[in-house]
Amino acid sequence: MASPLGLFGGTFDPVHFGHLRLAAEMREAFRLERVVFLPAGHPWQRGRDTWAAGAERVRLLELAIAGEPAFAVDDREVRRPGPTYTVDTLSEFRREAGPDVPLVFLCGTDAFARVETWHRWESLFGLAHFAVAVRADDADWHARGPGAIPRALWPRVTMSLKDLASAPAGRIMTFAMTPLAISSTALRGLVQAGSTIRYLTPDPVADYIRDHGLYATDTRPLSPDPASR
């Protein structure tokens, strides 16, 4: 079977070392040929738009992964009009990769705990595997452990890497990455307070945010499609 491809969805508003470390550790653990970062266009569950525009978040990601040939940024969700649904993106990748290539969607425990609320969530597991990184700052996960995973999905959970490599989709694995309690929310708060974000994100990202005045004030428009939540 072909090498698995990693797909990493998020708002990346902005990207930080928690994201990059997750991608690097998951790539090695799951022997992913590449990890494709997929910044969301309009994350419909958040109710408001992102802080930085899609093109800015794509640029920050490009700066963050420069020089890492195993990482790529794909801006299809930013270009797609309307709300961003992961199921649409996974369907596109499945069509492009063919039926046999294992697709592994990467996410943190906080995101995955809400997977039952995602658009057409039951279809997701026919399209990709899910590799779920335990997030250091996810109090709910640390209180409940794997019980935080929706019960309907428990039969899909596996401890065996072979299960991920030998099927194109359908399994869930958790992964204890190096705990890094970094969030985009914290970075935005630091920028607004006039504090440094160095050593929380790559220097070129910190420099770009400073030089372009990103995150200094909240200029977000209301969500373009609030009725769809």
Q: Per CB under 6 A, does 89 bind ligand ATP?
A: no
Q: Per CB under 6 A, does 26 bind ligand ATP?
A: no
| Complete DSSP assignment for the chain | -PPPEEEEEE--TT--HHHHHHHHHHHHHTT-S-EEEEE-SS-GGGSB--SS-HHHHHHHHHHHHTT-TTEEE--HHHHS-S---HHHHHHHHHHHH-SSS-EEEEEEHHHHTTGGGSTTHHHHTTT-EEEEEPPTT-HHHHHHGGGGS-GGGGGGB-S-HHHHHSSSS--EEEE-PPP----HHHHHHHHHTT---BTTB-HHHHHHHHHTTTTSS--PPBPS-GGG-
CB of 169 to ligand ATP, least distance (A): 18
CB closer to ligand ATP, 132 vs 169: 132
CB closer to ligand ATP, 77 vs 168: 77
Q: Per CB under 6 A, does 44 bind ligand ATP?
A: no
Kindly report the number of other CB atoms within 10 A of residue 62's CB atom. 18
CB closer to ligand ATP, 100 vs 139: 139
CB closer to ligand ATP, 166 vs 173: 173
CB of 100 to ligand ATP, least distance (A): 26
**In the range 171-210, which residues lie near ligand ATP by CB under 6 A?**
180, 182-185
Of residues 6, 54, 102, 108, which one binds ligand ATP by CB under 6 A? Answer: 108
CB closer to ligand ATP, 99 vs 193: 193
Q: Per CB under 6 A, does 102 bind ligand ATP?
A: no
- Strand partners of residue 14: none
Residue whose C-beta lies closest to ligand ATP: 108
What is the size of the binding site for ligand ATP (CB under 6 A)? 19
Binding site for ligand ATP (CB under 6 A): 10-13, 18-19, 22, 107-108, 110-111, 133, 135-136, 180, 182-185
